[in-house]
Amino acid sequence: MFVNCFFPSYYLQSEDTQQQIIRETFHLVSKRDENVCNFLEGGMLIGGSDNKLIYRHYATLYFVFCVDSSESELGILDLIQVFVETLDKCFENVCELDLIFHVDKVHNILAEMVMGGMVLETNMNEIVTQIDAQNKLEKSEAGIAGAPARAVSAVKNMNLPEIPRNINIGDISIKVPNLPSFK
């Protein structure tokens, strides 16, 4: 479950308020039935009556956009669709875990679509082109130095999900030391 909330004043709030907004939004959205409309009237938390929550529900994921009255409601629904399709293209068959483990990438993709709370680009091909170009740039920068890190991370990805760092046997907890602190 992933709530993606953006509106200009969001990041101006304190962390606690941000969390509260997310929690309440999630609470509101998640209890809604499948066959009800995708708009929610704005409460005070998201900046008053001019604002609306517009969301789409995909399996376990909710994509929630908070918009003001200058945006077209149906347009934003389309935009969410574009966003999800873009994610799908960039991650190659996107799934929940992709979004959880690569939040930074999701942010980067979103940044190509929405900038400072305003819609920047709605053409999926254009977005994908820019993202690909940036990824290429990133790869070329990493060069050879990046290779071992990538290898390690690949290994980690292979094995670690199954190995918990804390092994609890009864009451005795043996802590697996973290490698960086090993001198």
Partner 1 sequence: MALKMVKGSIDRMFDKNLQDLVRGIRNHKEDEAKYISQCIDEIKQELKQDNIAVKANAVCKLTYLQMLGYDISWAAFNIVEVMSASKFTFKRIGYLAASQCFHEGTDVIMLTTNQIRKDLSSPSQYDTGVALTGLSCFVTPDLARDLANDIMTLMSHTKPYIRKKAVLIMYKVFLKYPESLRPAFPRLKEKLEDPDPGVQSAAVNVICELARRNPKNYLSLAPLFFKLMTSSTNNWVLIKIIKLFGALTPLEPRLGKKLIEPLTNLIHSTSAMSLLYECVNTVIAVLISLSSGMPNHSASIQLCVQKLRILIEDSDQNLKYLGLLAMSKILKTHPKSVQTHKDLILQCLDDKDESIRLRALDLLYGMVSKKNLMEIVKKLMLHVDKAEGTTYRDELLTKIIDICSQSNYQYITNFEWYISILVELTRLEGTRHGHLIAAQMLDVAIRVKAIRAFAVSQMAMLLDNAHLLAGNTQRNGICEVLYAAAWICGEFSEHLQEPRQTLEAMLKPKVATLPGHIQAVYVQNAVKLYASVLQQKEDSGEKQGAEEVTQLLIDRLPQFIQSADLEVQERASCILQLIKYIQKLQSKDVPVAEEVTALFAGELNPVAPKAQKKVPVPDGLDLDVWINEPPSESESEDEKPQTIFREEEHRHTKQRRTEVDEAELARRREARKQEQANNPFYIKSSPSPQKGYQDSSGVEHIPVVQIDLSVPLKVPGVPLSDQYLKLEEERRQKQKIEKQKKKKKQKKEKRGKQRRHDSLHTESDEDITPAQQVDIITEEMPENALPSDEDEKDPNDPYKALDIDLDRPLAENEKLPVQKHRASENQKTPEEETPSAEQKSKKPSKKAKKEKEKKKKEKKKSKDKESKKHKKSSPALINEEREEEEEDSVTASATAPKEPPAAESKEESEKPPTDFQTSDLDFWLSTSPAPTKSQLLVGFKKAEAIAVCSESAVSTVASEPEEAKQEEGENEKEETKPSKHKKKKHKKEKEEKKSKKKKQQQQSDEETVETPESVQNGTLDDETLPPMSSYCLLAESSYIKMMYDVQGNLQDGSQVVVSVIFENKCNSYLKSMEFNVLDSLNTKLIRPEGSSVHDGIAVPFQLPPEISNEARFVFTVQSIVMPQKLKGTLTFIVKTDDGSSHEKLDFKLHFNCTSYLISTPCYSDAFAKLLESGELKVSSAKVDGVSIPFQHLLAKICFHHHFSVVERVNSCASMYSRSIQGHHVCLLVKMGEKSVSVDAKCSDPTLLGNVLDEIKQTLTEKC
Site residues (CB under 8 A) for partner 1? 11-12, 14-16, 18-19, 32-33, 35-41, 70, 72-75, 77-78, 100-104, 107-108, 111, 115-123, 126, 130, 133-134, 137-138, 141-142, 148-149, 152-153, 156-157, 160-161, 164-166, 178-181
We find the least distance from the C-beta atom of residue 13 to partner 1, in angstroms, to be 9
**Of residues 95 and 100, the one with the C-beta less far from partner 1:** 100
Q: What's the min distance (Å) between Cβ of 111 and partner 1?
A: 5
Query: Given the complex with partner 1, which of 30 and 123 has the nearer CB atom?
Result: 123
Q: How far is the CB of 88 from partner 1 (least distance, A)?
A: 20
**Burial class of residue 63 (count of CB atoms within 10 Å of its CB; 0-12, 13-18, 19+):** buried
How far apart, in Å, are the Cα atoms of 107 and each of 83, 114, 115? 11, 10, 11
DSSP 82: H
Pick between residue 30 and residue 157 the one whose CB is nearest to partner 1.
Answer: 157
Whether residue 22 contacts residue 3, with contact meaning beta carbons closer than 8 Å, is answered with yes
CA 27 to chain centroid, in Å, comes to 18
CA distances for 93 relative to 90, 113, 124, 127, angstroms: 8, 19, 16, 17
Of residues 95 and 133, the one with the C-beta less far from partner 1: 133
